[in-house]
Amino acid sequence: MTNSTYVPKPRELLPDWMVGLTDRVMNYYTKRYLNCEPVILKNPPLPQEGHQYMLYAHVPFCHTLCTYCTFHRFLFKEWKAREYFQNLRKEMEYVKALGYDFTAMYVGGGTTTILEDELVKTLELAKKLFPSIKEISCETDPQVIMTPQFRNLQGLVDRMSIGVQSFNDEILKLSDRYEKFGSGEQIYERLQYAQELFPTCNVDMMFGFRGQSLDVLHEDMEKIVKLNPRQVTTYPLMVTSQTRASARAKIAATGLELADQYRVIMDSLENHYRQLTSWTFGRTNDEGFDEYVVDHDEYLGVGSGAFSFLGDSLYVNTFSLRRYAERIAAGNTGVERRRTFDKHSILQYRLLLGLFSHRLSRKYFREVHGVNLDRALMKEMMGLRLSGAIKDDPNDPDRIIVTDAGKFLGLVMMKAFYAGMDHVRAELRAPLKEEDM
């Protein structure tokens, strides 16, 4: 990392050795649990009475592929993408026939807005099929938001998340985004336009790039404050084993002082936003955000490469576009694989999400999972207390306060969890041949 003149405020976060230990512990658990059984399923299970579900839809196409991105995506071919959207809508109809309804919908990618007319048809159908949907979130990039068709999403999308990563031109060039999306100044101007179209506009930023000094990061955060979007998400760069080796060597900072960068972000944003999760900041406490798994214990995914979590199991849709089309033509949904979890691992997962979202509640574990949190996860809770990550609320025996150290720990753990999910994606993409893409 380059030298910086900006000095963040002192905060009690985690020492480097504890970050390293957390990474090793998370690596052990993700390798143990995040894998899929070699079974082929026709459909997900039927919905359970009294349960609430969220719908996730995946659009796996991009005009170009960012070097650091490990999400499921393919190079855009219009005829394939149009056929895919048609199949996506058929799968939604199959899910409706199974008896599902949803309270919210999230569309991720890839580039979800790569064919805006197809996306509009898909969202309109979702609202028709699932009348309980109250909010639709969607992702896009800075280039698309200036197209005339983009305005057609106004009134359909409640929350639009725009991937910016940085306003610094050198960082944009390093990550191959400058030629694709323009300069930081151009992107900033486009964001002003996008904010007028949707109730919630989220700006995705990223830290951990090579050459991204504390000064550069602070300047990015100052521009966010000036722009004043309703929401901002500050992801750590997630360079995993599946990221191309050339990209790892080129874009990732060496000797990254993650804690110092996190202090810069909190210093810059804490007086202007409420912290909704370890890396999301918003103007209010009641808005959705990209990590939809926090607000939704159960969700169902449609589309190639989509994940579902239903009951005690993770379900994964086929990553092959060819097999996805064949399954839909046969009257099946896209789900192919399953991983069933025991009670203890599910409790650990919900503890992670509670720490990450700063919403640790004994009442939640008692009423939803039927356990005493302090007894069911005694070792985990003891470790969080000893590390200074949590403390009891003296005014509410059910509430557990997540400290600044806990917020940072939640970021480190969630980063490791997503790296584990990336391993699942890589495992299922590995057998794909040219005809599958």
**Along the 437 residues of the chain, how does pLDDT read in single tens digits?**
446 788 888 888 877 778 888 888 888 788 777 777 767 788 999 999 989 999 999 999 988 777 667 778 888 899 999 999 999 999 999 999 999 999 999 999 888 999 999 999 999 999 999 999 999 999 998 888 888 889 999 999 999 999 999 999 999 988 888 888 889 999 999 998 889 899 999 999 999 887 789 999 999 999 999 999 999 999 988 766 554 444 555 676 655 578 888 999 999 999 999 999 999 999 876 555 455 667 788 999 999 999 999 999 999 999 999 999 999 999 999 999 898 999 999 999 999 999 999 999 999 999 999 999 999 999 999 999 999 999 999 999 999 999 999 999 999 999 888 888 887 887 877 787 888 77
* Cβ contact 296:104 at 8 Å: yes
44-57 burial, b at 16+ Cβ within 10 Å, e below that, comes to beebeeeeebbbbb
Q: Is the peptide bond before 370 cis (omega within 30 degrees of 0)?
A: no
Tell me what pLDDT residue 40 has: 79
Classified by CATH at the fold level, domain 37-294 comes out as pyruvate-formate lyase- activating enzyme (3.80.30)
Strand segments (E) across 127-283: 135-140, 159-165, 200-207, 231-236, 274-275, 280-282
Give the start-to-end residue ranges of the domains of the chain: 37-294
Direct distance between the N- and C-terminal alpha carbons of the chain, in angstroms, rounded to an integer: 38
DSSP 3-state assignment of 420? Answer: helix
* Cβ contact 59:110 at 8 Å: yes
* Cβ contact 64:176 at 8 Å: yes
Single pTM value for the model: 0.89
DSSP 3-state assignment of 126? Answer: helix
Q: Can you read off the two tokens belonging to residue 77?
A: 């071919």
* H-helix or E-strand spanning residue 385: helix 378-386
Residue with tokens 């399953």: 338
How would you classify residue 36: left for phi > 0, otherwise alpha for psi between -120 and 50, otherwise beta? beta
| Whole-angstrom distance, CA of residue 181 vs CA of residue 169 | 11
Residue of 152, 79, 69 whose CA lies nearest to 111: 69
| Whole-angstrom distance, CA of residue 177 vs CA of residue 93 | 37
Tell me what pLDDT residue 46 has: 95
| Whole-angstrom distance, CA of residue 171 vs CA of residue 212 | 7
* H-helix or E-strand spanning residue 321: helix 321-329
Q: Name the DSSP letter for residue 12.
A: -
Residue of 314, 297, 316 whose CA lies nearest to 306: 316
For residue 59, CA distances in Å to 88, 162, 401 come to: 9, 15, 37
Backbone angles phi and psi of 316, in degrees to 5: -130, 130
List the beta bridge partners of residue 393: 396
